[in-house]
Amino acid sequence: LNFISFGNQETVDGNHCSCKSQIKNLRELAKLFEVSLKLTVPDEPNVEPLIEPAKFGDYQCNNAMGLWSIIKGKGTQFKGPPAVGQALIKNLPSSEMVESCSIAGPGFVNVVLSAKWIAKSIENMLIDGIDTWAPTLSVKRAVVDFSSPNIAKEMHVGHLRSTIIGDTLARMLEYSKVEVLRRNHVGDWGTQFGMLIEFLFEKFPDTDSVTETAIGDLQMFYKKSKLRFDLDPEFKEKAQQAVVRLQGGDPVYRKAWAKICEISRNEFAKVYQRLRVELEEKGESFYNPYIANVIEELSSKGLVEENEGARVIFVEGFNIPLMVVKSNGGFNYASTDLTALWYRLNEEKAEWIIYLTDLGQQQHFHMFFKAARKAGWLPDDDKTYPRVNHVGFGLVLGADNKRFRTRANEVVRLVDLLDEAKDRSKAALIERGMDKEWTPEELDQTAEAVDTVYADLKTNRLTGYTFSFDQMLNDKGDTAVYLLYAHARICSIIRKSGKDIDELKKTGKIALDHAAERALGLHLLQFAETVEEACTTLLPNVLCKYLYYLSEEFTKFYSNCQVNGSAEETSRLLLCEATAIVMRKCFYLLGITPVYKL
Ligand code: ARG
């Protein structure tokens, strides 16, 4: 749980996270134990069932020990936590879900689910579709603020991580029936535009005719104009006036600004297309018309103070104040973010706003979150909605353990990185003979981005991860290639049976008699609770881990249980099909597109 950090009080550790009691499959079990608790300790009506997945057995109920410490002084009939546990078992309403219960250790109640019930749940999913296994979150609308590169600057690996993690979180929330506003908070406003526009006028007096190819590399253009700005005081002066004109709405300056944005936007679009990520641009400039009012509101609440010519908000726990109006009267990153938050809460009526940037920006987010709490926009605690979270991630490191850069010490261009990853993936797939099974298009599609995406999502290191193509493509480890390969193999088992799987789904029955069958079945059933956990903790790697274990459980099943030609063929083919369906849903949620033949 290191890799993602949360807003100030929003630290999530295994115990604190509220997901435990919400998890879908556990809910039914929790209901049973709720009844039992009421019967066992009628004088303690407020005790909530504590249920979690168990190491031994399937699930466990952990109430007995805590209950004991509450009731032991009150003249209880029980002799200790195990006796409380026994009573919980005795009072548990009978249900087709539970096979048996037993006491372990100091009083844990181990629950074994009924194999019949697991099988039935899988049969139902095969008929009604995997969407019936989607968790339901209590939130209706969320904003995911992700990717968010800056105009005229290169999109770098940090933006890639933001894009990939943000897209996956958005997909998981969408799957959980949350309406997600996917926001690209592009850096398209600020003083740098004065210099860019002035430089554009200088190079291309006829701005209308400027094309992308004329400017060429926009980043180079940025660098050159910056150089000019730093070295030539006259140019600097002009650039500063240009900002005033732009912000004042001068149509000529507006047009030049729009041109520059458009060129960048087209560049960004190429990356989004390759990653198959959709998001809606509402850049910093969008919020500009609202800033003055928002600052006014904050001032009227007494939050804003004068400080060395600037206007600032002091927030507890930070040595420096949050600057919201610069000494020259201009607005900045923080004023824009406060305004965007105001807009998202009041105009867009979002209940949960999630931001993805590298950890370097953590302080910025924590400061303006606090300011918003002070203004009464957000509740003081982090469990009640509306809620905000900063999902930070570590740097991407090169093999030398330093910031991932090219040999020339330049920021690695995203397109180059994706190109190289793709070439290498393709070579790896061909080496595995996949070119004989797949068409060139299918090969191409599989190679595109999947490895970069998966390598990123599975990590959970606060300090970032080491970027390594070799690691990414290792087909024995926890990699996208391995998982895609596992999935393709399952599809081919089904294909080779020669059976019409859709027909089997309608009438076929699943039996989970072998231990390996049962283990696979149980793991399949845990899909929904895993997605829910990944959503509530904002940790996509939880889903990666699940997917990896799924392929392992499948391998164990397949090496122990003969499928084709066996007496249990129908049941086992259905298990194969269910595994493939769940795997595909995981791929989809992780933004990976598998290629397979039916
Ligand atoms: N443009 C910023 C950057 O490249 C990221 C913006 C993140 N979103 C936000 N609302 N501040 O670092």
Residues 427-440 have a mean pLDDT of 82
DSSP-derived 3-state class of residue 293: helix
DSSP annotation of 310? E
Q: What is the pLDDT of residue 561?
A: 97
d(CA 36, CA 111): 14
Asked which of 85-94, 221-230, 432-441 is least confident by mean pLDDT, the reply is: 432-441
Q: Which atom of ligand 1 is nearest to the CA of 361?
A: 12
Residues 446-466 have a mean pLDDT of 64
Token representation of residue 360: 């370097």
Give residue 106's pLDDT band: very low, low, confident or very high (50, 70, 90). very high
Asked if pLDDT for residue 212 goes beyond 80, the answer is no
The 10s digit of each residue's pLDDT in 262-299 is 999 998 999 899 888 999 999 999 999 999 999 999 99
Token representation of residue 462: 């606060």
Asked if pLDDT for residue 204 goes beyond 90, the answer is no
DSSP annotation of 150? B
**Dihedral sign computed on CA atoms, order 89, 521, 459, 540:** negative
| Greater pLDDT, 465 or 211 | 211
**Dihedral sign computed on CA atoms, order 484, 488, 493, 494:** positive
Q: Which atom of ligand 1 is nearest to the CA of 340?
A: 10
User: Residue 453: what residue type?
Assistant: V
Residues 467-486 have a mean pLDDT of 71
The 10s digit of each residue's pLDDT in 120-129 is 999 999 999 9
Q: What is the pLDDT of residue 445?
A: 77
The 10s digit of each residue's pLDDT in 213-263 is 666 678 888 999 999 999 999 999 999 999 999 988 999 999 999 999 999
Q: What is the pLDDT of residue 472?
A: 61
Q: State in Å: Cα 455 to ligand 1 middle.
A: 23
Percent of the chain exceeding pLDDT 90 equals: 65
Q: What is the pLDDT of residue 465?
A: 60
Q: What is the pLDDT of residue 379?
A: 96
Give residue 12's pLDDT band: very low, low, confident or very high (50, 70, 90). very low
Q: State in Å: Cα 164 to ligand 1 middle.
A: 15
The 10s digit of each residue's pLDDT in 127-163 is 999 999 999 899 999 999 999 999 988 888 889 889 9
Q: Which atom of ligand 1 is nearest to the CA of 358?
A: 12
Asked if pLDDT for residue 410 goes beyond 90, the answer is no
- Return the best residue to mutate from 146, 271, 361 for the ligand 1 pocket (most ligand atoms within 8 A of CB): 361
Residues 197, 260: contact at Cβ < 8 Å?
yes
Asked if pLDDT for residue 209 goes beyond 90, the answer is no
DSSP-derived 3-state class of residue 53: strand
Q: State in Å: Cα 338 to ligand 1 middle.
A: 13
Q: Show Cβ contacts of residue 363 under 8 Å, excluding neighbours closer than 6 positions.
A: 318
Residues 39, 69: contact at Cβ < 8 Å?
no
Q: What is the pLDDT of residue 474?
A: 60
Percent of the chain exceeding pLDDT 70 equals: 87
d(CA 278, CA 269): 9
Residues 442-462 have a mean pLDDT of 69
Q: What is the pLDDT of residue 476?
A: 61
Q: State in Å: Cα 161 to ligand 1 middle.
A: 13
Q: State in Å: Cα 335 to ligand 1 middle.
A: 13
Q: State in Å: Cα 333 to ligand 1 middle.
A: 9
Tokens 């209901």 found at = 31
Q: Show Cβ contacts of residue 284 under 8 Å, excluding neighbours closer than 6 positions.
A: 185, 186, 187, 188, 189, 190, 333, 336, 340
Residues 398-414 have a mean pLDDT of 69
Which residue's C-alpha comes closest to atom 4 of ligand 1?
A: 149
d(CA 487, CA 597): 11
Q: Which atom of ligand 1 is nearest to the CA of 153?
A: 4
- Return the best residue to mutate from 151, 163, 185, 285 for the ligand 1 pocket (most ligand atoms within 8 A of CB): 185
Which residue's C-alpha comes closest to atom 3 of ligand 1?
A: 149
Residues 450-457 have a mean pLDDT of 69
As for ligand 1, residues whose beta carbon falls within 6 Å of it are: 145, 148-150, 185, 187, 337, 340, 355, 357
Per residue, the 3-state secondary structure of 345-380, as one string, reads: HHCCCCCEEEEEEEHHHHHHHHHHHHHHHHCCCCCC
Asked if pLDDT for residue 192 goes beyond 80, the answer is yes
- Phi/psi-derived region of residue 561, left when phi > 0, alpha when psi is between -120 and 50, beta in every other case: beta
Residues 382-411 have a mean pLDDT of 77
Residues 531-541 have a mean pLDDT of 91
DSSP annotation of 309? T
DSSP annotation of 11? -
Which residue's C-alpha comes closest to atom 11 of ligand 1?
A: 337
Which residue's C-alpha comes closest to atom 9 of ligand 1?
A: 185
Q: State in Å: Cα 360 to ligand 1 middle.
A: 11
Q: State in Å: Cα 417 to ligand 1 middle.
A: 21
Q: State in Å: Cα 322 to ligand 1 middle.
A: 16
Which residue's C-alpha comes closest to atom 8 of ligand 1?
A: 185
d(CA 412, CA 208): 32
Q: What is the pLDDT of residue 585?
A: 97
Tokens 């049941």 found at = 571
Residues 442-470 have a mean pLDDT of 67
- Return the best residue to mutate from 162, 357, 362, 391 for the ligand 1 pocket (most ligand atoms within 8 A of CB): 357
Phi and psi angles of residue 568, each rounded to the nearest 5 degrees, phi first = -95, 20
Q: State in Å: Cα 327 to ligand 1 middle.
A: 23
The 10s digit of each residue's pLDDT in 572-587 is 999 999 999 999 999 9
Give residue 10's pLDDT band: very low, low, confident or very high (50, 70, 90). very low
ipTM: 0.99
Round the average pLDDT of the chain to a whole number and report it: 87
- Return the best residue to mutate from 146, 147, 148, 282 for the ligand 1 pocket (most ligand atoms within 8 A of CB): 148
Q: What is the pLDDT of residue 468?
A: 67
Q: State in Å: Cα 318 to ligand 1 middle.
A: 21
Which residue's C-alpha comes closest to atom 5 of ligand 1?
A: 148
Q: State in Å: Cα 148 to ligand 1 middle.
A: 5
Considering only CA atoms, give the Rg of the chain.
Answer: 28
Q: Which atom of ligand 1 is nearest to the CA of 333?
A: 11
Asked if pLDDT for residue 452 goes beyond 80, the answer is no
Q: State in Å: Cα 196 to ligand 1 middle.
A: 20
**In Å, how far from its chain's centre is CA 198?**
40
526's enclosing H/E stretch is: none
Residues 407-435 have a mean pLDDT of 78
Q: What is the pLDDT of residue 177?
A: 95
Q: What is the pLDDT of residue 158?
A: 85
Please, where are the H alpha helices in 476-568?
480-497, 501-507, 515-525, 527-537, 541-560
Asked if pLDDT for residue 400 goes beyond 80, the answer is no
Q: What is the DSSP string of 59-95?
A: EEE-HHHHHHHHHGGGT-S--SHHHHHHHHHHTSPP-
Q: Which atom of ligand 1 is nearest to the CA of 337?
A: 10
